Structure 1
Amino acid sequence: MHDDTIAPWKVPLTEAEHSVILYALAVAGLAMIAYFIKSWTSRNEVSPRYRTSVYASMGITAVAFLSYVLLVIKFDLGYDQHGSRWLPNSDAMLSWTPRYMDWTVTVPMLMIELIGVAMLAGPAARRVRFVGIGAAFLMITTGYIGGVVIDDGESLGGLALWGSISGVFMVVLYIVIIYVMVGSRRQFADGEAIGTYTNACILLLVTWFVYPIVFGLQGWGHGGAVTTWMQVLLSAADIAAKVGFGAMIHKVAKLRTAADVRDHEDTHPESVWWSSVKVSDAVLPPLSESVRASAQGAPRVKRPR
């Protein structure tokens, strides 16, 4: 084991560091499956118009949960205990790389979730979604090349070059998010929905700063303490960006559903509630002319006496 290694999966850990990382990984994985179950059971609270965001959130947390299951397993198998130290073996790398595989799928899906409740429709929504998904995919893929592929993550030059390229796509992604946020703020009819949507966008913008910070730590520091901080920060950021963001978007979807019902733009078979406050009554769709005529003209069946 070289003292100058910068790949976090090649660094020995103390008992405390090993325990903290395992705790962070397990908690993040449990948070993902818990929110997936919550999203599944509450999906019908949202109008079909905004349900794409709910399904995107379910996909995000399902993929992330599976990723964290693999991370926990490989972290457990990737270190061998020698006295009071845990030394990495060939499996230790897989206690990190599944994160990139997770992000390659879930970060583009976060853009689908974000745009699904925005004030965009038709060709405009498709264009913004295409740019957002493309930028998100390229941001993660180029980061993976520099952080893992080039010299097994040990090349400072590779980190700097591919990190810069990834940063360009990150700027594009930020521009897309700000564009969608500003445009939606001008058009949302519900004031609470405006505030929640803005907070959700800000949460995403702030949380994503953690990832380049951790990427930079890979080239800056050595030792178990840095590795521990990297794992803990990434786990916390994942919870915020997938669960916290998802909860806010779900609230916006419900508030927009209620606003559409109140404005007679849509119907919803159940009353919409938020924080034990009814924000709209249940409104059933009107019967079609054929159904109404059929009901009116149906022969009466005589009941036996």
Structure 2
Amino acid sequence: MTTQLLFYQNATPVSAERHKDLAVKAGVSYRFASSVNSVPLTAVEFAQAAAEYPIVFAGADDSVMPVVVLGAQQTENLFINDEGGWQGKYIPAFVRRYPFVFSTDKSGKTFILHIDESFEGCNREGRGERLFDNDGQQTQYLKSVLNFLQDYQGRFQRTKEYCDRLKALDLLQPMQAQFNLNSGERRSLSGFMTVNREKLKALPDADLLAMFRNDELECTYLHLHSLRHFGDMIERIATRGAAPEISAEPIEITKEVSRHPSRTAGRNAKVEEASA
């Protein structure tokens, strides 16, 4: 199956035969995402996400996507509390679509709906929303899930086009964030890219106009503006009690000079999405 794994553990094709009596209680606990430090983001989400999270770009040269950074360490999500609640106003669509996900068949032309049966909200006691009615027909809930994922897939493809433009214009550069603690410890978060401001300003007018008309220029400045939220993570780490003597000194965001620091943003997100 071709899909973005992250917190998906047992993604199974949805069928009336297998899931006729299955119900899903979603939107209550987000523990499934407690060990990921970033999740993919689509371009249409930039305006809301930029108000709370750093938005960066991650992935290999042939597959770069925006991600929101959620933690300063590889298996850390600072936006989930001990009860599994999401501590942020905006929840990325990638998280909200769980436990459902699309994959494609071998031809790459047909989308297949999957559900992660390991999700704690899946049950056969009628808690939440059923996928099929007593006659084996899709419920309104399942239809709304399909519509949401179809919409998400379209937004994913549009975002991929945006990232392809950034790469074609050579605007992305490797960066790293340094978190300075009172103890003297310096935590590094690397493996991500940001847009180079100077290269952006030096673009020919025709390229800038094209980005403006496609709303890509707006997304780019939202991305650059969002980087200030790396500093907010210091307060979140202190609140979690993980490092009681955290400095109030702003973090540094610098050009990445190596690719082997132990803390990597987007590392969990380097997997492939079903493509149209």
TM over 0.5: no
TM-score, length basis structure 1: 0.26
TM-score, length basis structure 2: 0.28
Q: Report which structure shows greater RCO (CA 8 Å, sep ≥6).
A: 2
Whose helix fraction is larger, Structure 1's or Structure 2's?
1
